[in-house]
Amino acid sequence: MPEETQKDDLVALLDRYRRNLDQQFAKGGRRSVETDSGIPLAPLCTPLDLEGWSYAGKLGVPGEAPFTRGIQPTMYRGRLWTMRQYAGFGTAEESNRRYRYLLEQGQTGLSVAFDLPTQMGLDSDDPLAAGEVGKVGVAIDTLDDMETLLAGIPLDKVSTSMTINATGFILLALYMAVGEKHGVAPEALTGTIQNDILKEYIARGTYIFPPRPSLRIVTDIFEYATQALPRFNTISISGYHIREAGSTAAQEIAFTLLDGLAYVQAAVDKGLEVNAFGERLSFFFNAHSHFLEEVAKYRAARRLWGRLMRDRFGATNPRACMLRFHTQTAGSTLTAQQPLVNVVRTTVEALAAVMGGTQSLHTNSFDEALGLPTTEAATLALRTQQVLGHESGVADSIDPLGGSYVIEALTDALEANALEIMAEVEKRGGMVKAIETGYVQSEIQEAAYRFQQTVERGERVVVGVNRFAEGGGVHPPVLHVDPELERQQVRRLRGVRERRDAAEVTRALGRLNDAAKGGANLMEPTLQAVKAHASVGEIITMLKRTFGTYEGE
């Protein structure tokens, strides 16, 4: 049958269907529906929603541009995603026990959570750290702590992701120093350092220095790691926290990729080769609750990044154009009410990440709206991934949702929306300028406000909160960090200071400060400082003299 005849038949069929649909909706139901990004969602998507759509240009095949279908030809038929559960609390000893337990249970990569003092460059005995040591992650002050944290873990076999930003260069140096002590060469170390300072100004607030010296540190890591750590991802450009702060899916794509472009531009300006450092860039996305939109989000981001790297920066290495990403299910969707329902939420979100082609995944524990995850809850979160990977069958087909009319239409719409947002930011002087003026932050705040209004009005159902709230649900036990652990950590830090060579620490910190003033790469002097047992807080205090402290707007 000729193509035009097929199209005429389809139009006639759908005209009949839509007239019937209008009659049915007149009796009740949801005639108009929008995604979380405000994209209208047709009741039924058909080939007509993709008119003029090019299979080769928009979809292609996995492992090749435009990368819509994934960055590896075999995807999960070749190897499952890395199951990387984010964990860390209390002291290095406590966290080491949790890591080794998770690895014994089948986890395939580490993800280290650091406490707020470590993230902010404060030693555990700093008065500003009081009451926060070990609360939301592990306390790391010196090389002694890092050695304890990684004791018994084969660093040449296990990849490690470190969620650390302003002090990321110090933690990376500590990781390298432990690897050296374990006899593992830097080129054998694998993992990722988050190192995404721009999103701290946007969404989280754990910044220390002003944006421009902070960007210098990011690119110093790029430069150093390209030579010394060829298998280590030098940044995890994070949309996760942007989404947790209240952005839409389209904003998450746009602001995350804009951060990425700012880092790439800074590296190029430094004289680095995009085809080399581009291979070591990675991303970190949220898995939110709208399953269809989230699957489309990952596909749109992958396609858009590949095109930007090629067209804007002239990248010719396909690996430098690939958007590799880790995913974490959305903490902001978890509820303290009826917390066991969070298991279902997390499963749906994890499935969206898998169907969208993630390279690694963290599934939240159901009790995280109440406190730190208990061992039982953390195990169940890992088992959720294992059931998806080994029992559900979703890993048996490469990109099983590719070609779905609704998924492809949403992918196109999200890409278009993200491009509009990016154009507005670039019109305002680019991402760094838009952050400095507060534009990006205000856009996210406005989106968060609109979202919360729909919950308050009951237009958006949150099970157990604004509907189906009867019964109260089960209240599981909550993990509390023993205050004694903070006192132990302070004693440990002071013991290191008493044993170390104080003169060597002073010399090492002086060399680091000279590098900061002179514009030299900071990584090698930082490595030497941590080997001398300089603390995180001492290194940051020294650099504040040159870089200053950012107070925000």
pLDDT digits (tens, 9 = 90+) for 193-204: 999 999 999 998
Decide if pLDDT at 379 tops 60: yes
Q: What is the pTM of this model?
A: 0.92
Decide if pLDDT at 351 tops 70: yes
Which whole number is the average pLDDT over 278-293? 96
Give the pLDDT of residue 472: 57
Query: Predicted confidence band at 7 (pLDDT cuts at 50, 70, 90)?
Result: confident
In the three-class reduction of DSSP (H, G, I as helix; E, B as strand; rest coil), residue 110 is classed as: strand
Q: How far apart are CA 537 and CA 553, in angstroms?
A: 24
Q: How far apart are CA 86 and CA 71, in angstroms?
A: 24
Give the pLDDT of residue 180: 96
Give the pLDDT of residue 473: 59
pLDDT tens for 491-526 read 999 999 999 999 999 999 999 999 999 999 999 999
Decide if pLDDT at 262 tops 50: yes
CATH architecture classification, 56-68+80-394+428-456: Alpha-Beta Barrel (3.20)
Give the pLDDT of residue 371: 84
465-473: long-range pairs with CB below 8 Å, 24+:
465/335, 465/337, 469/337, 469/338, 471/338, 472/337, 472/338, 473/337, 473/338, 473/339, 473/340, 473/341
Q: How far apart are CA 302 and CA 324, in angstroms?
A: 8
Stronger pLDDT, 3 or 346, i.e. the higher one: 346
Q: What is the mean pLDDT of the chain?
A: 93
User: Which of 547, 542, 523, 427 lies closest to 171 in space, CA to CA?
Assistant: 523
Residue found by looking up tokens 């080997």 in the block: 531
Which whole number is the average pLDDT over 59-68? 96
Q: How far apart are CA 195 and CA 433, in angstroms?
A: 19
Query: Predicted confidence band at 1 (pLDDT cuts at 50, 70, 90)?
Result: very low
Query: Predicted confidence band at 2 (pLDDT cuts at 50, 70, 90)?
Result: low
Give the pLDDT of residue 553: 58
Check residue 479 and report its DSSP letter: B
Stronger pLDDT, 189 or 8, i.e. the higher one: 189
Q: How far apart are CA 247 and CA 540, in angstroms?
A: 31
Give the pLDDT of residue 251: 98
Decide if pLDDT at 481 tops 90: no
How much of the chain, in percent, has pLDDT values that exceed 90?
Answer: 83
How much of the chain, in percent, has pLDDT values that exceed 70?
Answer: 98
Q: How far apart are CA 79 and CA 543, in angstroms?
A: 43
pLDDT tens for 105-138 read 988 888 899 999 999 999 999 999 999 999 889 9
Helix extents (H) in 393-535 = 405-427, 431-436, 439-456, 483-499, 502-518, 523-531
pLDDT tens for 438-474 read 999 999 999 999 999 999 999 999 999 999 987 655 6
Query: Predicted confidence band at 390 (pLDDT cuts at 50, 70, 90)?
Result: very high
Decide if pLDDT at 165 tops 70: yes
In the three-class reduction of DSSP (H, G, I as helix; E, B as strand; rest coil), residue 533 is classed as: coil
User: Which of 57, 44, 54, 47 lies closest to 11 in space, CA to CA?
Assistant: 47
Give the pLDDT of residue 107: 84
Give the pLDDT of residue 487: 93
